[in-house]
Amino acid sequence: MENFLSSRYLRALLATLSIAFSGFVIAACGSGGAEEGAGGEEIEVVIEGEAVEVDPFEYNVLFTRPLNRFDVEDREYLVGQPPPEPGETYIGVFVKVANIDDVPHALPESFEIVDTADRRHESIESRSIYALPKGAMLDPGDELPEIDSTAQVGPIQASMLLFKVADEVLELRPVELELEGEEERAAVELDL
């Protein structure tokens, strides 16, 4: 009887420790983190769907995907773009941006994604009604896309940053959107 009780106690203790250890492992694998930037400073890294503050804006990348000019929806994202060259792909990064400061600020004029080969790819100009208006002035509390705009009520409900990259970039993951503020930097790991 004593062996039965001690083995039962031991199994319960092991099960409890296993559950506690699993919770620790899951917590340690959280989505946010930091990595070293080009200048040696640490920058915050988040995943798609997590908002990140990069003074004076809050960014939230909702969705990222390659765009297909033969797809009915994607044609609206690629308005005015030439067909990609063989071996090239358009990528849409769909983002919401808000001015969280108490004074007006202009959005950056350019955005970059970086692949694991440390190659940088700059956003390209877009005439799409879904495009994020780079360089636009946002008053305190303003958000992009604007309420009731085509981008805001569209299928993704976000503004688009457009990139044209070599197909191999889709294999060089994680690809990150780098965000630079007035005094801070962050990156968003894109779900490509």
Q: What is the pLDDT of residue 30?
A: 43
Angle at 151 between CA 149 and CA 156, to 5 degrees: 140
Q: What is the pLDDT of residue 22?
A: 44
Q: What is the pLDDT of residue 25?
A: 36
Considering the domain delimited by 34-190, tell me its CATH architecture.
Answer: Sandwich (2.60)
* DSSP 8-state symbol, 177: E
Alpha-carbon span 187 to 112, nearest angstrom: 10
Q: What is the pLDDT of residue 55?
A: 92
Could you tell me the mean pLDDT of each successive run of 10 residues in the chain, 192 residues long? 54 52 41 57 91 96 96 95 97 98 96 96 97 97 96 95 96 95 93 92
Q: What is the pLDDT of residue 102?
A: 96
Beta carbons within 8 Å of 79's beta carbon, 6+ residues apart:
126, 127, 128, 129
Write down the residue that tokens 């909702």 correspond to: 62
Q: What does each C-alpha distance from 187 to 42, 43, 75 come to in angstroms?
A: 11, 7, 28
Contact 159, 144 (CB under 8 A): yes
Q: What is the pLDDT of residue 98?
A: 98
Alpha-carbon span 190 to 92, nearest angstrom: 11
Our CA dihedral for 53, 59, 65, 71, rounded to 10 degrees, sits at 180
pTM: 0.79
